[in-house]
Structure 1
Amino acid sequence: MNRPGASRLDSELTNLELLGLLSSRIIHDLKNKLAVISGHAQFAEMSKQNPQVATSGMAIIKRVSEEAGKHVEALAKLRRTLPTERHECEPAEALAVLTELLAGRQGWELRAPNTGSLSKLAVERRWLRFILRHFLSACSGAQGVVIVDQARGEVPAEGADVAPLFPDRQCFRVRISYAAAPGEKPPLNEDPILQFQTLAVYELIRKLEGGLVQQAGPDGREEIVILIPLVQTPARA
């Protein structure tokens, strides 16, 4: 199945917003590496046993790492310019998004039992659509079911792509189950745009303090479980 938007970024999200989602991870990783480089460079400079040439080289490493650190700080400023307030989405809006994404997909069914008591989702509607569209577009099965309900964010951390930060928090749970073709394996996706989108989706779920599990379900079916926290919903006893 050809994935919509495979040759471009999702038109509903700006490049700046996607960059902002990824910048936190990039900054963290780069800062750790730069700290190691800078620390070793300073140690070499202070060591009288190092040859003069090596000391000069370490000085260059230190200077370059400091310059790179300034670029990282500039990226951090870019990240801080993005909105940080918590956005919300009504349950009815979330169901409307799923209905829209499944429209025209024969053999797919949306089930939403007992969603009348759901509170608001702690995510903006367009971000929710970005997440759901990403995973639904990747489902190659001709038949599938999407089940929406409320559940705690409890998933085994070792089996989760993204483990919920607060496992006792009540969540809007989306379970995507579809029958994969016999012997079919997901193709290796080398499209850098889709790789970028995948990283952005994972980072967004982390930012929302939600969870993600992709696993083999019963009867040879594939299953994707997405957890989006609800707004101000204390854990049930």
Structure 2
Amino acid sequence: MSEDFPVPSVRLDEPRGEHILIAEDDPAAARILRQILQQIGYRVTVAEDGAQALRALDEGPPDLLLLDWMLPGISGLEICHQARERWDPLSLPILMVTAKTDPESVYAAFDAGASDYVAKPFRGAELRARIAAHLRTKRMVEERRRMEDHLRERDRLSTLGLLTSGVAHDLNNPLAVISAHAQILMRRAPDEGTSGQLREILDAVERCRRIAGDLLGFARRHPVEREPLDLGEVVRATLELRRRDMELHGLRTTVSIPGALPRVIADRHQMQQVFLNIVVNAEQALAGGGGRFDVAVETDAAREAVTVRFTNDGPPIPASALPHIFDPFFTTKPEDEGTGLGLAIGRRIVQEHGGEITVTSDAAGTTFTVRLPVEAMAVAGD
């Protein structure tokens, strides 16, 4: 191989644990196919007849279907027809394996929706190569879809950021005027009733200012100062900021932080913003009724990442809301308690640090998990 074209360390056609469903009624042929595919790393399920193959498809499509034409009960051709009504060839490649090699049969197989056609007796090397080619194409299509989804999301958030930034700036000027006049009128208020009404106006102005601040925080890319951080120290500092409020809310807090954590490369203030938002959300979820709030910091065995878990035993997040919990402006709180930007900002910060933030919620409680890599990451916006 020329030095200009080095061999990649990972081949694109190497098996990656994909699931292959074999529909084959001949036990000997099924056993050989299973052995060939399992030896090189595929997960294999065998269906002995057409009805069993359809049931397996109903349970969830495999990455590839290896389909014998002559199946008892329901033929491979009919299974191919039914599968194509639900999945396109890029979502579910179907390889027809059969002794029928006449042109009419080959045409019928492709007309039914087969992606490829392998004649019996087959050669193991050819079969492996055809399977690898179809799975490689499937992976490339899926990766392209993921990239397109990511680009659409970035474009949506960029547009949203421009709009929210303009709205927030435009709001601040009239809010300042309203606040100034309300304060002047309070000094001249003839009675307590009027003073109370003016205080309500000032409270509303302050809420609008907080909303405008959240909008700017979501839209703005702040200069970051990355440095080696002990996330355990950041967590302790964050909890100390909220200690009095948590006590007032009756939260029973436990904290587990090991003594020697690998440092991550991160912006201290941004990480504190992420943690603070999660803590405040927990306080609001448990407000009035007390409850348990557990915080645990840990690293994996290879010390390649640091994970922070925040768990509360409050009411679970509704299942319908869970997929949208990090969406901008989405909130399960009452109208006057949140803007729906805190978790969206937090997700953006964590992703810009090369990490991930996830949430799980059920009757036992809700857990937010923040995972950051130990190795240095590129500065956001580079």
What TM-score comes out, normalization by structure 1 length?
Answer: 0.49
What TM-score comes out, normalization by structure 2 length?
Answer: 0.33
Greater Rg over alpha carbons, structure: 2
User: Which has the bigger relative contact order, CA under 8 A and spacing at least 6?
Assistant: 1
